[in-house]
A and B are shown apart, each in its own frame.
Chain A
Amino acid sequence: MNAHTLSRRNLLLQGGALVVGFSLSGRGALAQATFPAVPTDGFPKPVAPDQVDSFLALGADGRATIFSGKVDLGTGVQTALAQMAADELDLPLDRVSVVQGDTALTPDQGPTYGSLTIQKGGVEIRQAAATARARLVQLAGERLGMPADALVSENGVVRPKSGGPGIAYAELVKDGRLDLKVDPAAKIKDASAFTLVGKPVPRLDIPEKITGRFTYMQDMRVPGMVHARVVRPPAIGATLESVDEASVADVPGLIKVVREGDFLAVVAEKEWAAIKAAEKLKAKWSSWAGLPEQEKLWQHVRATKVTKDDVTSNTGDAEAAMGQAAKVLEASYDFAIHTHGSIGPSCAIAEFKDGRLTCWTASQMTHALRKQLAAMTGLKPDVVRCIYVEGSGCYGRNGHEDAAGDATLLARAVGRPVRVQWSRADEHGWDPKGPPTLVDLKAGLDAQGNVAAWSSQFLIPEGAAGNVPLVAASLAGLPHETALSPGNIVHNSAIPYAVPNVRTVCHRLASTPFRPSWIRTPGRMQNTYANEAFLDECAAAAGADPLDYRLRALKDPRGVEVLQRVADLAKWQARPSPVKDASGDVLRGRGISYVKYELYRTYVAGVAEIEVDRATGRVRVSRFFVVQDCGQIINPDGVRNQIDGNVIQTLSRVLMEEVTFDRGAVTSLDWASYPILTFPDVPQIVTELIDRPNDKPWGAGEPSAAIVPSAISNALFDATGVRLRSVPFTPAKVKAALQAS
């Protein structure tokens, strides 16, 4: 029996369990752990994306449960999805619950990445809700003998517009299900009818998180569970030659040393015992030194074999136009390898029971993970269930999925539910990395200084947003993916400006030093950084004001609007960079940047104001201004929170962050060796949102990060007259550049 079923009674129970689990008991882990096992006597819960019942169920208690394949990674989208569904269903927000990322209960709406949760996931849920509401009105009409257009739905009841008693949703639907297909033509509410969408609704999860009642993945416990820690090779490609199990024989409560190929871990009754055993375990590994020398990273990237070229734009004849240009500029930009840096290291629990595997995971892609776990174990996907439990923020594909792979191997090895908690060094050392990016740019200016020809070459690893191979599967020699999956990193390599001759090419590399994956704004950040900083170089060469220079070449009115509004917000003074009267110990400058995300959605413009300490090379960002147009805004407070996060996190990446490594492994294994921005250095952020309630909603989780590196590079140039082209802009690099100038 594989069908996961819900009955009307169970739905009620589950709704109750969810509420209790998240809001009151502080012991929600167990409530949530038992939640999926309840249904036995009802109807099968569909998950097909064309069925309304896949997305929502109406409870006998008048509540609706939304089933979302997209998950809340700490960005607040659970609340936003509930707002969208509640408005479309005409229910108050407190009668809507959201179940996220459970492969047995939620449709596969694709991984939670790419700023698509509202834009795709929410829009699909909204369509299902609109379909449901239309059917409820129709059913009520049949009961009341009235046409649908004489009825109105309101607060969970359908009633005649003319007045009189209505019928509650729960009375209209049998067993809480509607049994109909999502109607792509079902009418979505007009923006004027929204009561929740567009409002700064407080987040549903915050009270529990503030009082210690929330159950993160790291808090989950299941009956009979034991604890494990992994013991990774000291060098990435080292093989395990021998293990001295006697070295941990005295650890109390040790259950097993598990070895499978080069996969090594310890399992113990208690977590501290597992930690101690992992530290004490003596193992002999082969030597391996397959990483490039860090000092020669960019030479290594240039020397890596190119497997194909992706031409991302090709207009006119850039090469010929370059030959006729009044002035030609050339520059190369690089962007360091970054780690996700989740504050809570990855964690997962797996349990084998009755031939089935259940994995509790903070994965951003439970449906894809399910297939990976099936492939690794040889199980059929339909006996594998992955259940999302929110973890520490991941900002992309961090180690959560890998921890799930670890837990699965270990649960199979010891025959009990196993919780794997990565250490800080596991997370910094073994999460997949944002790959190094190198960009060569060339521009030809005409006699008026405008860009007449633009040509760029991006050296980036091949692949797209597939499954990143699981560490456990790779180490254990079990089936796993071998292709690189760095994310769709070609986006925004083409430019949003009207330049007559453009050719942008991504040279896709056969390899990259570390297992790559996506980190917030993958590719779009690096590519926009190079493009917008180099465009500033062109503006400076033309003696033009950087804002005016952009506006001259920008034909998109929504783009023009964000730029003009951010200039107003920042009280931008029109003048060329660099600033003329640079003197004194502290140099001040401003920089502007712009992105149209993936060249079809969310528009962002930003201005950075910075100070540079001439003696130390230290950069301090005092204020950062952002204007964003992401179409219809679901929750403006949530969007502002995301913009703060994008700016602060990206400033950290741009000013400080760089994964360090020797020939064998990552050496930046903690927060001392991989420092991030802290409170004293966080700038003021001034945000203005452009809401377009009648338009489609677009993503907000990533786009504003894309403009940050270039805004800083441009402000640095404005302040100092020196162009920084290598992220991170550390004090040492800035100081050296100042001294060389």
Chain B
Amino acid sequence: MAQEMSLDVNGRAARVTVDDTDTPLLYVLRDDLGLHGPRFGCGLGQCGSCTVHVDGKAVRSCVTPVSGLPKNAKIVTLEGLGGPDRLHPVQAAFIEEQAAQCGYCINGMIMQSAALLNESPKPDEAAIRQALAQNLCRCGTHLRIVRAVQRAAGTL
């Protein structure tokens, strides 16, 4: 049954219609709302490229059914974290460190790191590596990513 839902995405109210309330948040964000930040990587919660913030926490949107979201959940995607004219410090640090190759995983790296810095503003290198241990990068950009997070945390 088609069902209309209201979501708070990047600070705006969005109304979407889903045929199935089990639809993962990822598809609503990408296909209904046209967002590019959260990316499909595995659909299994294994790689992290779909990561978004739900009420400030990093969440894997590919395994989060829209019906399972907390009431009035505030969803933030990479686009909402910061834009070209108002970069989030983590985004600015990723640009500064040129921390991307293909960049497909980078959404997850930035969203996971931003959530980490919210909770722990001055992580050391080992803590950053541990926080990103479940985020996969195939191009091998790990070292730049770690440096970018260190830079954003002001620990470089």
- Cα A116 to Cα B101 with chains together (Å): 18
> Smallest distance from the beta carbon of A20 to chain B beta carbons, Å?
12
A543→B29 CA distance, assembly (Å): 63
The verdict on A9 contacting chain B, using a C-beta distance below 8 Å, is: no
Q: Which residue of B37, B94, B132, B140 is within 8 Å of A644 (Cβ)?
A: B140
The answer to whether B138 and A393 have CB atoms under 8 Å apart is yes
Contact present for B103 and A74 (CB under 8 Å): yes
* Residues of chain A within 8 A of B106, CB atoms compared: 209-210
Interface residues of A in 270-284 (CB under 8 A from B): 270-273, 275-276
User: In the complex, are the beta carbons of A649 and B100 less than 8 A apart?
Assistant: no
Q: Chain B 106-119, CB within 8 Å of chain A: the 1/0 string? A: 11001000000000
Contact assessment for A209 and B100 in the assembled complex, using a CB-CB cutoff below 8 Å: yes
| Cα separation A682 to B87 with both chains bound (whole Å) | 28
A647 nearest in chain B by CB position: B140
Mark interface residues in A1-36 (1 if CB within 8 Å of B CB, else 0): 000000000000000000000011011000000000
A678 within 8 A of B: yes
Shortest CB-to-CB span from B38 to chain A, Å, is 8
Residues in A neighbouring B91, C-beta threshold 8 A: 210-211
Contacts of B5 in A (CB 8 A): none
Size band of the A side of the interface? 35 or more
Select A211's contact among B18, B84, B129, beta carbons within 8 Å: B84
Within the complex, which residue of B37, B95, B110, B134 is in contact with A207, where a contact is CB–CB below 8 Å?
A: B95
Q: Do B130 and A672 touch (CB < 8 A)?
A: no
Interface membership of chain A positions 198-235, coded 1 if the CB is closer than 8 angstroms to chain B and 0 otherwise: 00001101110111111110110100000100000000
* Residue B46 CB within 8 A of the other chain: yes
A206 touches B36 (CB 8 A): no
A477 adjacent to chain B (CB < 8 Å)? no
Contact with B along A236-250 (1 / 0, CB 8 A): 000000000000000
Is B95 a contact of A393 with CB atoms below 8 Å? Answer: no
Answer whether residue B58 sits at the interface, using C-beta atoms and an 8 A cutoff.
no
- Asked if A499 lies at the interface with its beta carbon under 8 angstroms from chain B, I say no
Asked if A646 is at the interface (CB within 8 A of a chain B CB), the reply is yes
CB distance from B146 to the nearest CB of A (A): 7
Q: Which of A667-705 contact B (CB under 8 A)?
A: 670-672, 676, 678-680, 682, 684-685
Given A27-B34, A214-B36, decide whether A671 and B136 contact each other with a Cβ distance below 8 A. Answer: yes
A276 to B139, CA, bound (A): 31
Interface size class of B (residues with CB under 8 A): 35 or more
Q: CB < 8 Å: which of A211, A213, A671, A679 contacts B132?
A: A679
A678 touches B104 (CB 8 A): no
Q: Which residues of A contact B143 (CB under 8 A)?
A: 644, 648, 682, 684-685
Our pick among B19, B43, B95, B137 for the contact of A202 (Cβ within 8 Å) is B95
Once the chains bind, are A343 and B31 in contact (CB under 8 Å)?
Answer: no
Nearest opposing residue in chain B for A422, CB measure = B40
CB interface residues, A 244-272, toward B, < 8 Å? 252-253, 270-272
* Interface hits, A626-652 → B, CB 8 Å: 637, 641-642, 644-649, 652
**Complex Cα spacing A73 to B100, Å:** 12
Closest B residue, CB atoms, query A340? B138
A216 with B42: CB separation less than 8 A? no
Q: Are B102 and A211 in contact (CB under 8 A)?
A: no
CB within 8 Å for A645 and B100 given contacts A678-B134, A679-B132: no
Partner of B104, one of A206, A253, A392, A652: A392
Contacts of B77 in A (CB 8 A): 212
Q: Which residues of B contact A342 (CB under 8 A)?
A: 104, 138
Q: Is the CB of A207 within 8 A of B84?
A: yes
Given A270-B27, A272-B24, 10 more pairs with CB closer than 8 A: A210-B95, A219-B36, A272-B27, A343-B47, A344-B104, A390-B102, A392-B102, A644-B141, A644-B144, A648-B142
